[in-house]
A and B are shown apart, each in its own frame.
Chain A
């Protein structure tokens, strides 16, 4: 076990899988960087440095820099996945799905079904999500729910280095297309990570903290805020369970519902937009399957229904935080029926 950043944990996962299986390739803009320039080779390693150093071990045949051409990146990766490679394609920011979504949701996601189960598409799309970088409306969104809406896709959202490595390895070895969402504010988060390879199966939630008064479901950066909130609540005698689903397709509703059956209260914290989003989906599932055990209305903690703003003052107000989670929990406690 060593203490590493989430960035390095992801790099380890890719490196180990590329060593294990030569069909694994990395494709994207500046995944190594420097081609056609007058400076250094491997000048970027991805814009966040996640794939730094891979090209020196695996070469440009397998660490494939591309032009800025997201539709061709996603389509090429999907076509290669269907014909024998196991590509990791990088979509630099999830916001850029707007220029390449067809290749993911009409092509990769549907091959298996449209072709009567005869196609496998072992594709991982690594992408970044999240506000907090002062990068405004087109580089800060948390659009994972749009992918989870599509049958045929799997969606992973790790909150810490250990989960990031184990889930990325699982995603690379999986035979379905997986959208792997990395919160850019978490890249420098440190955590203990085994040096050897290990898999965390998609579809298994992590119970981050156990308490009997309320269930808080949170993902990615929101898990840290939920933990902060839980400490503040504990000081007031309120004990929270925190569940990190880790993957939202498949989604481990069983663990969430079991917890709500114990606590009777549910708060869902989601950095995605509030309308038709993940928080609404989880709330809907619980309302449908565990209505009888609820002691209070379900609370959703999300940003407002606005684009992500630029001004730091506005962006800080936009992002859910520990205080808003505490308020939501207290509201469910007050509203007991």
Chain B
């Protein structure tokens, strides 16, 4: 198996995927125990997409995310502890407890925010691409777009604008099977998200989103193109989510065997492990170490979040304006 990633990069990639999984499993537990307010949407099952895409990005590159954004944050380098504090609504969270799971952002890492409006991010991501182009930073703008958001007008408009202005933008369509409780097979009229993006006039690669190496390779091509001034590209990556739309979702819209099948046969972590072990790129010990470290980091983050202070009432009215 050929891969452009070196040994350390492979370890990092697996570690990040494993951290996302551990993070989401903990958030699920803590939410069900009543320790997390609001809505949370979990990324488990899709880890190879976020990590395969962000493996090619630096802090100069910007990503626009979705309501299911924890995985994108971790893959883009956000601090896991500060993320957990934010999801718990704490003062020292990444956004001071004012954003929460659906608005988690870290501009220093180029993470322009989870976005609770379906289809909210694509126009913002092409804005980041425009800024990078005009300021000559060499950066690119990347939009993560669910299969649900693939039907939104904002997505179409951003695709067209990126082509018209030849922006260094990449559209990553994450087809996770469902928009809330409605299947992609029904909601995407043509059934073919990749063809839709292609119709706007950009190259599209469709990959198995549970295959880290396939995502990584597709992104490498799109990034080369965007960085060299050849304009936008798109990737459609298919990976069905393991959890419901939100934690607490009774998931009556899918059969009970679907998830057990997914976890058994389409788990990107298992697939990654077997691939790197078979090809001798990494050892079992190296992978097990990453598993342990990921769980330990997330467990520590949960303990820190539980012990952290809430914002105070004086925080309510700050941060609305730079000046007013």
Return chain A residues, CB-CB under 8 Å to B321. 112, 152, 154, 176
Pair B64/A79 contact, Cβ less than 8 Å:
yes
Interface segment, A12-20, A66-74, A132-140, A321-329?
A66-74
Bound-complex Cα distance A64 to B96 (A): 36
Does A168 count as interface, using CB distance less than 8 angstroms?
no
Known contacts A66-B164, A114-B103, A174 near B130 by CB under 8 Å? no
Q: Known contacts being A85-B130, A107-B124, is A174 close to B117, with CB within 8 Å?
A: no
Does any Cβ of A come within 8 Å of B190's Cβ? no
Q: A72-B161, A107-B120, A107-B124 are in contact. Are A25 and B134 (CB under 8 A)?
A: yes
Whether the Cβ atoms of B96 and A117 lie closer than 8 Å is yes
A277 at the interface (CB under 8 A from B): no
Given A66-B164, A79-B125, A79-B131: A102 and B120 interface contact (C-beta under 8 Å) = yes
Q: Is the CB of B105 within 8 A of A23?
A: no
Does any Cβ of A come within 8 Å of B157's Cβ? Answer: yes
Within 283-336 of A, Cβ neighbours of B (below 8 Å) are at: none
Most chain A beta-carbon contacts within 10 A, residue among B94, B117, B131: B131
B81 CB, nearest partner CB in chain A, Å: 15
Q: Does B198 contact A (CB under 8 A)?
A: no
Residues of chain B contacted by A71 (CB below 8 angstroms): 123, 153-154, 157
Question: Shortest distance in angstroms between B165's beta carbon and chain A's nearest beta carbon?
Answer: 7
B226 to chain A, nearest CB (A): 15
Expressed in whole angstroms, the minimum distance between the Cβ of B107 and any Cβ of chain A is 6
* Chain B residue at minimum C-beta to C-beta distance from A175: B322
Bound-state CA distance A81–B134 (Å) is 12
Interface positions, chain A 46-87, Cβ under 8 Å from B, are 61-62, 64, 66-67, 69, 71-85, 87
CA distance in complex: A116, B100 (Å): 10
User: Contacts of A216 on B, CB cut-off 8 Å?
Assistant: none
Q: What residues of chain A lie closer than 8 Å to B134, measured between beta carbons?
A: 23, 25, 61-62, 80, 85
B172 at interface by CB-CB < 8 Å: no
Contact B124 A23 (CB under 8 A): no
CB-nearest residue of chain A to B92: A116
Roughly how many angstroms separate A103 CA and B210 CA in the complex, as a whole number? 32
Q: What is the CB-to-nearest-CB distance from B96 to chain A, in angstroms, rounded to a whole number? A: 3
**Is the C-beta of A194 less than 8 angstroms from some C-beta in chain B?**
no
> Contacts of A79 on B, CB cut-off 8 Å?
62, 64, 112, 123-128, 130-131, 141
Write the B65-102 contact mask toward A (1 if CB under 8 angstroms, else 0).
00000000000000000000000000001111111000
CB of A80 within 8 A of CB of B161, answer: no
Does the CB pair A74–B164 fall under 8 Å?
A: no
Q: Say yes or no: is A125 at the interface (Cβ < 8 Å to chain B).
A: no
Any chain A CB within 8 A of the CB of B113?
yes
List chain B residues, Cβ under 8 A from A151.
320
Which residues in window 100-150 of B have CB below 8 A to A?
103, 105, 107-108, 112-113, 115, 117, 120, 122-128, 130-132, 134-135, 137, 141
Cα–Cα, bound, A61→B64 (Å): 23
| Residue A118 interfacial (CB < 8 Å) | yes
* Contact flag A113-B98 (CB < 8 Å), given A78-B123, A102-B120: yes
Least distance between A29 CB and chain B CB atoms (Å): 11
Contacts of A77 in B (CB 8 A): 127
Are A82 and B95 closer than 8 Å at their CB atoms? no
State the Cβ distance, A150 to closest chain B Cβ, in Å. 10
Q: How far is B93's CA from A175's CA once the two chains are assembled, in angstroms?
A: 24
Within 8 A of A (CB), among B274-295: none
B98 touches A84 (CB 8 A): no
Query: Which residues 154-191 in A have Cβ within 8 Å of B in the complex?
Result: 154, 174-176
Is A119 interfacial (CB 8 A cutoff)? yes
In angstroms, Cα B127 to Cα A87, docked, is: 10
Instruction: Indicate whether A106 sits within 8 Å of B126 (C-beta atoms), given known contacts A83-B112, A83-B131, A115-B105.
Output: no
Residues of A within 8 A of B141 (CB): 79, 83
Smallest beta-carbon distance A153→chain B, Å: 9
Q: A85-B131, A116-B99, A176-B323 are in contact. List 19 more A-B contacts (CB 8 A).
A: A66-B165, A69-B157, A71-B123, A72-B157, A76-B124, A76-B127, A76-B158, A79-B112, A83-B62, A83-B112, A84-B137, A111-B113, A112-B320, A112-B322, A115-B95, A116-B95, A118-B107, A175-B323, A176-B321
28 A-B residue pairs with Cβ-Cβ distance under 8 Å, sorted by A, are A23-B135, A25-B134, A66-B165, A67-B160, A71-B123, A72-B160, A72-B161, A75-B122, A78-B123, A78-B127, A79-B124, A79-B125, A79-B127, A81-B127, A83-B131, A102-B120, A103-B120, A103-B124, A107-B124, A113-B98, A113-B319, A114-B98, A114-B103, A115-B107, A116-B97, A116-B99, A118-B95, A174-B322
